[in-house]
Structure 1
Amino acid sequence: MKKNLLAIAVGAAVAMPGLALADGPTVYGKVNISLENAKVDPEPAAPKNEDKWELNSNASRLGVKGDFDLDVAGLKAIYQAEFEINVDDGDKGGQTITQRNIYGGLEGGFGTLKAGKFDTPTKKAQGKIDQFNDIGGDIKNILAGENRASNIIQYSTPKLADMLTLNAAFIPNEDSDDFDGDGENENGLTDTISVSLVAEKDMFFGAISHDADMEDELVSDETGTSVTLDITRAAVGFKPGNLELGLLYQMAEETEGDGEEDSVVASAAFKIDRVKLKAQYGMTEGDVSEEEVTQLSLGADYKLAKASKVYAYGTQLEFDVADTEETIFGIGMEHKF
């Protein structure tokens, strides 16, 4: 029965893009699929394949979202249920579909309150600086902080001075982990917090955020003595005309360990009619390990329609101390509905 309902939902979404039912949800989604060749140097010991071809589903998704007025104090109910769908092989960790951003909440003159599982304020603080989001050049390869948290509760203010929004979220640990190593699981209301201040106005985007005791791990300086991180991120972006520029800086350290790393990402893109040329460079340096991780990505998108494009890209991820390198070349298509 569940499979039949899922098939009906998918069929409705494909047949009627952006469908908005009367007093009901909007059905939406995205299919992003790419054919990629990945080469690793030195080649893995087993199996000994230095390069491979893959067809990848890059965070393709299907969701419903909406809102409706309540009869109390001008409040509005808001909701979203978004799932990742794997269009390449239908499997992700043994599951056909996996949870993405799902929440329920209230919206009014006071701002927005929501709870569920969704991207933290720090993850959202990147804005659209990541020009290779969801594909091989994603910034998650070189820095921590790209978290979608479970059991998260968030309050966002209304837009202040027509440009500023404060987001404050907390996550109760639900007695599931011993964060501080004292022999007792954490069971407080605010075991983890994530806050951000975001400024958006015309062609400008800026954000600063901080996570405390966030379940995550460092990319270059993991010591294995802590399961949580403290992360501070600052990002700025400009879009003058057909040009897009972005810069992100981040400091991350283990809450109870010695691991610490600094990261920087710089991106640029330029649109020429239907073509968008883009480039991105990122680097992370570890304090204890002295590891330096770099990622360089180049690509081009060709716009087929407002919600459809094809693209080609290449990215190289290198670990200096470990002396490893991975190079990916891919072509793909993305269709939003």
Structure 2
Amino acid sequence: MKKTVLAFAVAAAVGVPAAAAADTTLYGRLNVSLDFVDDGVDSSHQLASNSSRLGVRGSEDLGIAGLKGVYQMEAGFDAAQGGGGLATRNTYLGLAGGFGELRLGRHDTPYKTATLPLNFFADTLGDKHHMASRWAAVGAGTDSTFYQRPDNTIVYMSPDLDGLRFMASYTTDRDNDTPSAVANDQNSFSLAATFTQGPMFVTVAYEQQNDVDYAFSGVNEVEDAKAWKVGGTYQIQDLTLAAMYENLDTGTNLWGDRDVFHIGAKYQLGQAYVMGSYTNAGELDVDDTDAQMFALGAGYDFTRRTSMYAVYARTNNEDAGMYGLAGSGKGKGVEPGAIGENVAGFQLGVTHNF
């Protein structure tokens, strides 16, 4: 940052065009809430930081065929109790031009980002990813498989083609292995397309993770896991509607696959808004592994940067379900206190973007 500021100062002093210097932006988001939660066995209240972040991003004109070098380093931190790590969120170097953008580093998968516009309760107790893109059942091994921000990832994003965009990523190694005969066995690829026209947004995405290491009650299994989904939003004046269908395939004969269905609505009332959603996680190939989640919320935007919100969410598990209000960007999410227990929570929060 200091070097960039110095570069601009030198450029101005000697008359070098500003476009020749790097363009760097410091940005961030603070999101803190007071949560009252019940895991079905006990209840508590707590202060939580929800995906608070600090980042630096920028670009530099390379002077060749309209190409730019692009970069970003983003850190997640806990605004409620301190702590965090450098480059824990999307951090990359890349190249941008008429062909689109290529990024190398740690990055959200296209499968994850494709349906973010449908997630009205992002980073709250009602986040749809507490059920979508994951499975949570007794003995089901690996969890949250398709809500990923993997290391070692190559990402391509196409330019806007009259409202149509394509995204693709390849993760060379999910476990950061050093070079060996099996270094790339646990690789992944992710694909997504989005289309925006007027009030309509639609998306479709697919992801495959190779050699997922499961553990089922002492029995280890290594299989390829797959997922695909389709969804979209439609805006009718101040009302936005959202819907998504998703299929997750564990790749195993024991657990098989399951479906997810999500619907949501958000209504803007000037600076205020209200919203609600319903998410259904269907059964795996084992009985009573399904669950349902309900969420209601409201908020008020004091300015374009500062807002307050309130959210109530509840997860109802079947006898072998283990879904809670956790697994997304929600800080201090709550899991069920015992197998099949229901989970509920209410939060009051404030956000500030800069």
In structure 1, what is the Cα distance between the partners aligned to 2:299 and 2:148? 27
CA-CA distance at 1:308 after TM superposition? 1.1
Q: Which gives a bigger RCO, structure 1 or 2 (Cα 8 Å, sep 6+)?
A: 2
CA-CA distance at 1:310 after TM superposition? 0.5
Give the letter for the 1:168 counterpart: A
Is contact 1:226-1:257 (8 Å) kept? no
Q: Tell whether 2:21 aligns with 1:64.
A: no
Q: Tell whether 2:184 aligns with 1:210.
A: no
In structure 1, what is the Cα distance between the partners aligned to 2:209 and 2:171? 10
The 3 A distance-change label for structure 1 pair 176 and 266 is: same
In structure 2, what is the Cα distance between the partners aligned to 1:96 and 1:232? 32
Give the equivalent residue in structure 2 for 1:163.
Answer: 163
Q: Tell whether 2:33 aligns with 1:34.
A: yes
1:181-330 correspondence runs (5 A): 185-187=182-184, 191-213=187-209, 225-226=221-222, 229-259=225-255, 260-290=257-287, 291-322=289-320, 323-330=340-347
Match for 1:139 among 128, 131, 134? 128
Tell me the number of residue pairs that the alignment of Structure 1 and Structure 2 aligns.
295
Is contact 2:68-2:96 (8 Å) kept? yes
The 3 A distance-change label for structure 1 pair 275 and 254 is: same
Give the letter for the 2:38 counterpart: K
Give the letter for the 1:247 counterpart: A
Is contact 1:193-1:211 (8 Å) kept? yes
CA-CA distance at 1:187 after TM superposition? 2.3
Residues 14-49 of structure 1: CA deviation (Å, up to 9, x unaligned): xxxxxxxx73311110000000010121x1xxxxxx
Give the letter for the 1:333 counterpart: V
Is contact 2:212-2:222 (8 Å) kept? no
CA-CA distance at 1:186 after TM superposition? 4.8
In structure 1, what is the Cα distance between the partners aligned to 2:174 and 2:280? 35
> TM-score, normalised to structure 1's length?
0.81
Match for 1:125 among 114, 133, 137? 114
In structure 2, what is the Cα distance between the partners aligned to 1:246 and 1:320? 26
Give the letter for the 2:150 counterpart: A
Give 3-state SS (helix, strand or coil) of 2:112's partner: helix
The 3 A distance-change label for structure 1 pair 109 and 201 is: same
Give the equivalent residue in structure 1 for 2:88.
Answer: 99
Give the equivalent residue in structure 1 for 2:103.
Answer: 114
In structure 1, what is the Cα distance between the partners aligned to 2:223 and 2:91? 25
Q: Tell whether 2:348 aligns with 1:331.
A: yes
Is contact 1:85-1:98 (8 Å) kept? no
Give 3-state SS (helix, strand or coil) of 2:350's partner: strand
Give the equivalent residue in structure 2 for 1:148.
Answer: 149
Give 3-state SS (helix, strand or coil) of 2:249's partner: strand
In structure 2, what is the Cα distance between the partners aligned to 1:75 and 1:215? 37
Give 3-state SS (helix, strand or coil) of 1:150's partner: coil
Structure 1 unaligned blocks of 5 or more? 6-21, 44-49, 178-183
Give the letter for the 1:241 counterpart: Q
In structure 2, what is the Cα distance between the partners aligned to 1:176 and 1:227? 19
The 3 A distance-change label for structure 1 pair 54 and 96 is: farther
Is contact 1:226-1:254 (8 Å) kept? no
Residues 114-133 of structure 1: CA deviation (Å, up to 9, x unaligned): 11111100001113111111
In structure 2, what is the Cα distance between the partners aligned to 1:111 and 1:215? 31
Give 3-state SS (helix, strand or coil) of 2:126's partner: coil
In structure 2, what is the Cα distance between the partners aligned to 1:98 and 1:169? 19
Q: Tell whether 2:50 aligns with 1:76.
A: no
CA-CA distance at 1:172 after TM superposition? 0.9
In structure 1, what is the Cα distance between the partners aligned to 2:64 and 2:212? 40
The 3 A distance-change label for structure 1 pair 69 and 257 is: farther
Q: Which has the higher strand share?
A: 1
Give 3-state SS (helix, strand or coil) of 2:262's partner: strand
Is contact 2:110-2:167 (8 Å) kept? yes
Give 3-state SS (helix, strand or coil) of 2:342's partner: strand
Give the letter for the 1:319 counterpart: N
Structure 2 unaligned blocks of 5 or more? 3-20, 134-145, 321-339
